[in-house]
Amino acid sequence: MSTINYPQFSLDFHKNILESLEDYGVFTTDKHGIVTSWNKGAENVLGYVEQEICGQSARIIFTDEDRKNEIPEHEFTEAMEKGRGQDERYHQRKDGSLFWASGLVFPLYDNDQNHIGFTKILRNLSNRKQAEEEVLEARKYAQSIVETSKEPILILNADLSINSASKSFFNLFNLDKQEVENLNLFEVLSRSLDPQALKEQMQSYDSFENLELIQPQKQTDEEHILLVSSRKVFQTFKSIGQFLLTFEDVTSARKLEQAKEDFMNIASHELKTPISVIRSYTQLLGLELKEKSNDRVSKILKRILHQSDHLNKLTSLLLDVSAFNAGNISLNKAPFVLLELVLEIAAEITENANHQIILQEISDVRVMADRSRIAQVITNLITNAIKYSPDADIINLNLQVDDSKKTVRLSVQDYGIGISLKNQQELFKRFSRSNHKKARNIDGFGMGLYLSQEIIKAHRGQISVISEGENGSTFYFDLDVI
């Protein structure tokens, strides 16, 4: 049988170990709680040196209130009964200041198992406590922002229960605050709508914006449209909340938008007939007055025709915009040679223009597209190129084929006023016009590029612009070749 030789340690060795535990206050007391030994850590943590504390009651390190409530006595009793006493509470330093500490108390026995006193290990947890308090503060802060927000907004816990929510959230879903706090969000939402889409979205993405949910209205048979955005937050401090959700009721905004579209549609429809009637009567008047007419009269007739042309264009554009918005546009696709269309349009435009159109690179590829809609895009790009380059006289056209992508790109390059980088994407939006000072005096409705983009998108193509400011612009679009 082998024997194990345990090393023999001197009393000094144990004392040295105790002394090296600087963050741990370790001290012993006799049976009555009178301090009998005190290590360096206890001196650091509590401020008393060994000579002054030995002989005094260990109750001195408890707060006044704990002393009154006989907490020290409870600790010793617990240690005697269970073999150890444990707690976490404020303790008091020599200078009266308080700090948060965890304490472990063990009973001490001599070799004959006679109870001779206690040993207490005290650990300063001020930093941890402070961090916890900071988290609590942050939580309260986040909650107060959420609760006072005018928007429907809420914070969810990691288990998707409601941590806190604004009044308008409760109003939006007709909920009672007390009734739903700490309940699972989906359980709460399912009382008034189907939350499946939201559930799936939250499972798949850490954050997302404007997910549309339909909220049926019990009393009115109507439906409300809600947009939900979600974001994962406070990853480190899970106790503050895990998701921040905002809801937006866009029902009225959508209705208003629809009313605007309807108005635009009706107004442009209704305008079309009187405009063409005015046009016809003006032309008739011109014929009637032919012999009797003088310079002044024919100038006026010309003006009327010019302005009614202008109105005609505007109403057609408005009708197109509403049709695209409502998704009511159908494409009559057929195969054709893009170059032929480009040549036709270029010839027609140059008839009345001072600019020369130069075809640089050409190709005879065919595309499967709506010829008249593509013609509308090309006309818009070329007339813009002419309109916005009043001091230049050349427009370059290029038809380039990308064999690997099987696409053809038509680019229209001008040497005009150019477009700032900031403006470039904006211009494809409805009614958007550049803020270039030279563009302000040039007539336009700000709808051509929007419609061109819609047409190209409907063909699954792309349209874009390159412009380096003062050196003109190049607009281009890509279409699939067949």
| Cβ-count burial 70-106 (b if 16+ within 10 Å, e if not) | eebeebbeebbeeeebeeeeebbeeeeeebbbbbbbb
By C-alpha distance, which of 132, 349, 168 is closest to 248? 168
- What is the helix (H) or strand (E) element at residue 188, kind and residue range? helix 185-189
The tokens describing 88, both together, are: 């976490």
- What is the helix (H) or strand (E) element at residue 45, kind and residue range? helix 40-46
The tokens describing 97, both together, are: 């200041």
Binding mask 394-423 toward ligand ADP (x if CB under 6 A, else -) reads: --------------------x-xx-x----
Q: In the bound complex, what is the minimum distance in angstroms from residue 426's beta carbon to ligand ADP?
A: 9
Report how far apart, in Å, the C-alpha atoms of 77 and of each of 10, 147, 163, 321, 455 are.
Answer: 31, 46, 40, 85, 86
Q: In the bound complex, what is the minimum distance in angstroms from residue 267's beta carbon to ligand ADP?
A: 19
Q: Please give the residue whose beta carbon sits closest to ligand ADP in the complex.
A: 444
Piece of the chain touching ligand ADP by CB under 6 A; list 32-40, 241-249, 335-343, 381-389: 381-389
Q: In the bound complex, what is the minimum distance in angstroms from residue 444's beta carbon to ligand ADP?
A: 2
Cα distance between residue 366 and residue 394, in whole Å: 27
Report how far apart, in Å, the C-alpha atoms of 24 and of each of 18, 19, 103, 104, 306 are.
Answer: 8, 9, 10, 11, 94
Q: Which C-beta is closer to ligand ADP: that of 123 or that of 387?
A: 387
Piece of the chain touching ligand ADP by CB under 6 A; list 14-22, 305-313, 400-408, 428-436: 428-436
By C-alpha distance, which of 388, 413, 414, 411 is closest to 342? 411
Piece of the chain touching ligand ADP by CB under 6 A; list 194-202, 208-216, 277-285, 378-386: 378-386
474 binds ligand ADP (CB under 6 A): no
Binding mask 434-453 toward ligand ADP (x if CB under 6 A, else -) reads: x----x----xxxxxxx---
Q: Which C-beta is closer to ligand ADP: that of 42 or that of 417?
A: 417
Size of the site for ligand ADP (CB under 6 A): 21
Q: Which C-beta is closer to ligand ADP: that of 333 or that of 433?
A: 433
314 binds ligand ADP (CB under 6 A): no
Q: How many residues can be counted in the chain?
A: 482
388 binds ligand ADP (CB under 6 A): yes
Cα distance between residue 359 and residue 350, in whole Å: 13
Q: Which C-beta is closer to ligand ADP: that of 194 or that of 426?
A: 426
